[in-house]
């Protein structure tokens, strides 16, 4: 009974402070972050300096994993494949999504249908996309080869061809991802005030000039966000390549023919989970982190040069 | 007053969320006094899961003091989870391991050495394949649950259509190729022996195989070659025997008598060509009878062909029960009871065999009418194959060296590099994997 008056007073003091309330409300997230994110991050940093096969305790190995990694030709191949994928994917998807968003920002008939149609692949799983793309690019039964044969060209191996596999995967990824980026651009486009266009029209600007001199600069903030998002997502690309190059059937074949579609995330997965070299895989993860950090920092620095905020 | 209520409500919500978070992190284990709780893990399909539960119920009738807690999931998920469970010390006490994964766990010190128990309780002569889990030092790490062994499958209708004799156990690989030529057909209905045959438009392959188990290993070994030496720590890939065997395969693939690995990608699965009637023959393990029967094929099986010196080889995978090293005392004993129950009881063996997934481990059951009847007619071929059966050079880094071997050899299969080049490359890559694990 004696404690009773004390508790409400303390509580009342806390209740009166908004910032403390805020802290309390985010506590679950902070605990989650410390336990499941920060903890794992530090653990993986430690593992990256050790030999760790998951089944037995890790043994300190110093820089051995990193040394091995940088001397491993497969690592450099995976690095190149990832960069190649990003170089093709990010500009292609950004430009196409912007054009598409501009087109779908007009007053058209059946606008909702078109917006929806471009969003369907976004919400489909990669397994579904696999079946769709298999109907086209299956070397034996696919439409692409029957078309080539019909016009008198040689059939191709498509995803089994070392030179074609990454461009094809990029094409499919653009098709799947474009709806999402388009929606982000649409939101950006709708924030462009229409009086600016009207003014330009009075000055006699055509469609192309309006697009290049009004739309592009005024949505540069959105473009910047899109670039960062897509770069990060391509460096983390895993599921698509894993599913499409047969990883679900046989983990070792996920890298495609002659490792031509082995990207960093698949390399990491194979080393860590298939071959039980978790220390080595952690080193790959940290290298990947450093690369992404530098790339993002670079983009943030460069944005001052070209991003306009109102 | 009203806003006060709101704040209290919010505080309550925050506390609930917090405690939910904390509670979900830890669960309590209930243990009855005197009774033993055994955690049993297995990979399964919907069909086999039901049968397994029946057998577990029978076991519990006989051992009321052992309480079984099962943990099962489909193959891939099961083994993905297992590694992390072992790391977190929450792995099952006894689990079903794919035969090729037993050394992975044994050599990393995760499994209990079963040598003494096996010698005490099991009569070696009563079983097929106890020795398939024996390591180079003579220690046993598991007891087979069911056995996969390979034979030659052939589609009788396709042989009849081509008007050629069914395969016999006297066949050599060259006999097989001669037959395959007469069985490989293009979309115009022309066979490979016909000059008008178009190898770009195959509708039916003479033979199909893939990867190691149902593919190249049996050819390599029957030609006198192989991948690893007896200690399983040294590559023997670069040999004239392997060259001859690989030449045989590459020649067949280049003439499209059998599909290359990239041809196989056109099918929904590597296993599809035979049951979907796109191949007249296949190298297949026992489990493949399920697909073939389900597809209603008119087929049979016979022994795999002989190599040039008359040598045969049938690859074996003995999927096995293994016991967690951490399962000590009463739990360990209970785990062994389960393994023993599985191996020794005729009824269990018969029930499990009825699924058609594996050859029974117990010889008396495998040789019974119950197993030998049904389709295919010549099931005896599976049992006869034990005479020249062997494992797939399985060691602790098996999946890794198989991956490296395939990387190189598949390029030769596709005609991108020569057999010699592929062998040299595979030899170096495989040796690198072996050295990294064994020469530490």
Interface size A-B, in CB pairs within 8 Å, comes to: 79
**B5 pLDDT tier (thresholds 50, 70, 90):** low
**B146 pLDDT tier (thresholds 50, 70, 90):** very high
| A12 CB burial (10 A radius; 0-12, 13-18, 19+) | exposed
User: Any CB–CB contact under 8 A between B26 and chain A?
Assistant: no
Residues of A with CB below 8 A from B108's CB? Answer: 53, 55-56, 276
Q: How far is CA A122 from CA A175, B47, B423, in A?
A: 9, 35, 44
Query: Which residues 6+ apart lie within 8 Å of A290 measured at CB?
Result: none
User: Any CB–CB contact under 8 A between B397 and chain A?
Assistant: yes
Among B16-25, B168-177, B181-190, B297-306, whose mean pLDDT is lowest?
B16-25
Q: What is the mean pLDDT of residues B9-31?
A: 48
Q: Are B428 and B422 contacting, i.e. CB atoms less than 8 angstroms apart?
A: no
Query: Which residues 6+ apart lie within 8 Å of A9 measured at CB?
Result: none
How far, in Å, CA of A112 to CA of A116, rounded?
A: 6
Task: Evaluate if residue B31 carries a pLDDT over 50.
Answer: no
Q: Are B173 and B221 contacting, i.e. CB atoms less than 8 angstroms apart?
A: no
How far, in Å, CA of B430 to CA of B422, rounded?
A: 12
User: Any CB–CB contact under 8 A between A155 and chain B?
Assistant: yes
How far, in Å, CA of B302 to CA of B161, rounded?
A: 19
pLDDT digits (tens, 9 = 90+) for B91-145: 999 999 999 999 999 999 999 999 999 999 999 899 998 999 888 889 999 999 9
Alpha helices in chain A (DSSP H): 6-15, 18-32, 39-47, 64-71, 73-103, 111-123, 126-137, 143-150, 165-190, 194-202, 207-210, 216-218, 220-235, 239-244, 264-269, 278-306
How far, in Å, CA of B331 to CA of B323, rounded?
A: 10
Q: What is the mean pLDDT of residues B20-33?
A: 44
Q: Indicate yes or no: CB of B262 within 8 angstroms of CB of A157.
A: yes
Q: Indicate yes or no: CB of A24 within 8 angstroms of CB of B11.
A: yes
Q: How far is CA A244 from CA A84, A176, A236, A248, A267, in A?
A: 18, 13, 16, 9, 15
Digit-by-digit pLDDT tens for chain A (310 residues) are 444 444 555 555 555 678 888 888 999 999 999 999 999 999 999 999 999 998 999 999 999 999 999 999 999 999 999 999 999 999 999 999 999 999 888 877 888 888 888 899 999 998 899 889 889 998 888 899 889 988 988 888 888 888 999 999 999 999 999 999 999 999 999 888 888 888 998 988 888 898 888 889 999 999 999 999 999 999 988 988 988 887 666 666 677 788 899 999 999 999 998 899 999 999 999 999 999 999 999 988 988 888 877 6
How far, in Å, CA of A217 to CA of A219, rounded?
A: 6
Q: Indicate yes or no: CB of A55 within 8 angstroms of CB of B110.
A: yes
Q: What is the pLDDT of residue B7?
A: 55
CA B386-B389-B392 angle, 5° bins: 145
* Cβ-nearest to B266 among A141, A259, A270: A141
User: What is the SS3 assignment for A169?
Assistant: helix
Mutate to test the interface with A, among B266, B429, B434 (most CBs of A within 10 A): B266
Q: What is the pLDDT of residue B30?
A: 39
Residues of B with CB below 8 A from A159's CB? Answer: 265
Mutate to test the interface with B, among A140, A155, A267, A278 (most CBs of B within 10 A): A140
How far, in Å, CA of A277 to CA of A282, rounded?
A: 9
User: Any CB–CB contact under 8 A between B416 and chain A?
Assistant: yes
Mutate to test the interface with B, among A159, A245, A253, A273 (most CBs of B within 10 A): A253
Q: Indicate yes or no: CB of B17 within 8 angstroms of CB of A258.
A: no
Q: Indicate yes or no: CB of B83 within 8 angstroms of CB of A54.
A: yes
Residues of B with CB below 8 A from A55's CB? Answer: 83, 86-87, 105, 108-110
Among B23-37, B55-69, B414-428, whose mean pLDDT is lowest?
B23-37
Minimum CA–CA partner of B416 in chain A: A258
Q: Are B293 and B305 contacting, i.e. CB atoms less than 8 angstroms apart?
A: no
User: Any CB–CB contact under 8 A between A23 and chain B?
Assistant: no
The label of the residue with tokens 């004239």 reads B240
The secondary element (H helix, E strand) that includes residue B281 is strand B279-285
Share of chain B above pLDDT 90, in %: 81
For residue B2, list its beta bridge partners.
none
Q: What is the pLDDT of residue B201?
A: 85
Q: How far is CA B292 from CA A208, B48, B154, B163, in A?
A: 62, 18, 10, 22
Give B29's DSSP letter. P
User: Any CB–CB contact under 8 A between B98 and chain A?
Assistant: no
Closest alpha carbon to B214 in B353, B314, B320: B314
Q: What is the mean pLDDT of residues B408-434?
A: 95
pLDDT digits (tens, 9 = 90+) for B217-238: 999 999 999 999 999 999 999 9
Q: How would you classify the pairing of strands B185-186 and B94-97?
A: unpaired
Asked if the bond preceding B376 is cis, omega within 30° of 0, the reply is yes
Q: Are B89 and B36 contacting, i.e. CB atoms less than 8 angstroms apart?
A: no
3-state secondary structure A214-226: HHHHHCHHHHHHH
**B14 pLDDT tier (thresholds 50, 70, 90):** low
Q: What is the pLDDT of residue B67?
A: 94
Q: How far is CA B250 from the centre of its chain?
A: 25
ipTM over 0.85: no
**Token code pair at residue B242:** 């392997």
- Distance, in angstroms, between A177 CA and closest chain B CA? 25
User: Any CB–CB contact under 8 A between A59 and chain B?
Assistant: no
Q: What is the pLDDT of residue B145?
A: 94
- DSSP sequence for B120-170: HH--GGGBS-GGGGB-TTS-B--EEEEEEEEEEEEEHHHHHHHT-PPP-TT
- Distance, in angstroms, between B262 CA and closest chain A CA? 6
Using left for φ > 0, alpha for ψ between -120 and 50, and beta otherwise, residue B109 falls in: left
| B116 CB burial (10 A radius; 0-12, 13-18, 19+) | exposed
How far, in Å, CA of A162 to CA of A80, rounded?
A: 14
List, as own/partner pairs, every contact residues B25-28 make where C-beta atoms lie below 8 angstroms and the sequence separation is at least 24, other chains included: B25/A35
- Residues 236-275 in A contacting B (C-alpha not used; CB under 8 Å): 246, 248-253, 257-259, 270, 273-275
Minimum CA–CA partner of A244 in chain B: B265
- Distance, in angstroms, between B407 CA and closest chain A CA? 6
User: Any CB–CB contact under 8 A between B411 and chain A?
Assistant: yes
- Residues 110-129 in B contacting A (C-alpha not used; CB under 8 Å): 110
Q: Indicate yes or no: CB of A54 within 8 angstroms of CB of B18.
A: no
Q: Indicate yes or no: CB of B414 within 8 angstroms of CB of A259.
A: no
The label of the residue with tokens 């309480």 reads B67
Q: What is the pLDDT of residue B19?
A: 53
- Distance, in angstroms, between A159 CA and closest chain B CA? 9
- Distance, in angstroms, between A110 CA and closest chain B CA? 37
Q: What is the pLDDT of residue B275?
A: 97
pLDDT digits (tens, 9 = 90+) for B170-198: 999 999 999 999 999 999 999 999 999 98
Q: What is the pLDDT of residue A248?
A: 63
The secondary element (H helix, E strand) that includes residue B436 is helix B419-438
Q: Indicate yes or no: CB of B18 within 8 angstroms of CB of A258.
A: no
Minimum CA–CA partner of A30 in chain B: B18
Q: What is the pLDDT of residue A249?
A: 62
* Cβ-nearest to B269 among A249, A252, A275: A249
pTM of the model: 0.85
How far, in Å, CA of A220 to CA of A212, rounded?
A: 11
Task: Evaluate if residue B9 carries a pLDDT over 60.
Answer: no
Closest alpha carbon to A157 in A129, A137, A133, A132: A137
Q: Indicate yes or no: CB of B14 within 8 angstroms of CB of A24.
A: yes
């Amino acid at each position: 009974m004696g404690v009773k008056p004390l508790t409400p007073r303390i509580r009342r003091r806390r209740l009166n402070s908004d910032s403390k309330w805020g802290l309390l409300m985010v506590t679950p997230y902070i605990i989650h972050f410390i336990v499941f994110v920060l903890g794992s991050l530090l653990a993986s940093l430690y593992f990256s300096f050790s030999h760790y096969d998951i089944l037995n305790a890790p043994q300190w190995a110093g820089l051995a994993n990193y040394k091995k990694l940088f001397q491993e030709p497969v690592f450099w191949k995976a690095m190149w494949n990832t960069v190649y994928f990003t170089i093709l994917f990010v500009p292609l998807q950004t430009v196409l999504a912007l054009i598409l968003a501009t087109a779908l920002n007009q007053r058209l008939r059946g606008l909702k249908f078109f917006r929806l149609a471009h969003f369907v692949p976004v919400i489909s799983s990669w397994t579904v996309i696999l079946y769709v793309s298999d109907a086209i690019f299956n070397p034996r039964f696919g439409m692409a080869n029957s078309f080539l044969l019909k016009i008198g060209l040689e059939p191709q191996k498509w995803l089994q061809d070392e030179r074609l596999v990454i461009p094809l995967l990029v094409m499919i990824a653009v098709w799947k991802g474009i709806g999402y980026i388009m929606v982000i651009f649409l939101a950006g486009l709708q924030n462009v005030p229409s009086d600016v266009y009207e003014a330009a029209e009075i000055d006699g600007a055509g469609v192309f000039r309006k697009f290049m001199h009004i739309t592009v600069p005024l949505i540069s903030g959105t473009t910047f966000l899109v670039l960062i998002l897509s770069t990060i997502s391509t460096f983390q690309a895993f599921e698509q390549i894993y599913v499409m190059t047969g990883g679900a059937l046989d983990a070792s074949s996920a890298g495609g023919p002659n490792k031509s579609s082995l990207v960093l995330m698949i390399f990491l997965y194979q080393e860590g989970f298939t071959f039980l070299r978790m220390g080595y895989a952690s080193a790959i993860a940290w290298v990947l982190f450093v690369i992404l950090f530098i790339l993002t920092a670079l983009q943030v620095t460069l944005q001052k040069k070209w991003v306009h905020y109102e | 007053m009203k806003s006060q209520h709101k704040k209290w409500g919010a505080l309550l919500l925050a506390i609930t969320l917090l405690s939910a978070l904390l509670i979900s992190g830890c669960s309590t284990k209930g243990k009855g006094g005197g009774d033993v709780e055994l955690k049993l893990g297995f990979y399964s399909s919907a069909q086999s899961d039901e049968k397994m539960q029946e057998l577990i119920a029978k076991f519990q009738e006989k051992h009321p003091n052992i309480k079984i807690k099962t943990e099962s999931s489909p193959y891939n998920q099961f083994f993905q989870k297992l590694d992390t469970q072992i790391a977190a010390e929450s792995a099952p006490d006894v689990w079903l391991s794919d035969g090729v994964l037993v050394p992975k766990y044994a050599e990393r010190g995760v499994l209990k050495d079963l040598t003494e128990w096996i010698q005490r309780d099991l009569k070696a002569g009563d079983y097929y394949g106890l020795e398939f889990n024996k390591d180079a030092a003579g220690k046993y790490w598991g007891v087979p649950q069911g056995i996969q062994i390979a034979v030659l499958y052939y589609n009788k209708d396709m042989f009849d259509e081509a008007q050629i004799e069914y395969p016999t156990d006297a066949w050599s690989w060259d006999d097989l190729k001669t037959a395959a030529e007469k069985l490989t057909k293009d979309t115009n209905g022309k066979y490979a022996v016909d000059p008008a045959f178009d190898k770009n438009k195959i509708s039916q392959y003479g033979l199909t195989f893939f990867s190691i188990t149902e593919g190249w290993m049996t050819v390599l070994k029957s030609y006198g070659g192989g991948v690893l030496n007896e200690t399983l720590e040294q590559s023997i890939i670069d040999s004239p025997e392997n060259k001859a065997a690989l030449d045989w395969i590459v020649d067949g693939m280049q003439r499209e008598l059998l599909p290359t690995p990239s041809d196989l990608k056109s099918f929904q699965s590597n296993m599809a060509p035979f049951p979907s009637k796109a191949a007249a023959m296949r190298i297949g393990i026992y489990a493949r009878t399920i697909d073939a029967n389900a597809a209603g094929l008119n087929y049979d099986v016979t022994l795999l062909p002989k190599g040039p010196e008359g040598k045969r080889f049938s690859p074996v995978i003995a999927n096995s029960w293994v016991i967690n090293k951490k399962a000590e005392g009463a739990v360990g004993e209970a785990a062994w009871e389960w393994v023993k129950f599985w191996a020794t009881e005729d009824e269990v063996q018969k029930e499990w065999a009825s699924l058609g997934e594996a050859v029974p481990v117990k010889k008396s059951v495998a040789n019974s009418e119950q197993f030998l009847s049904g389709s295919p007619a010549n099931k005896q071929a599976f049992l006869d194959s034990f005479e020249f059966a062997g494992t797939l050079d399985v060691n602790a880094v098996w999946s890794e060296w198989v991956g490296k071997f395939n990387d190189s050899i598949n390029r030769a299969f596709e005609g991108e590099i020569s057999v010699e080049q592929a062998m040299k490359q595979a030899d170096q890559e495989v040796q690198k994997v072996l050295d990294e694990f064994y020469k530490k």
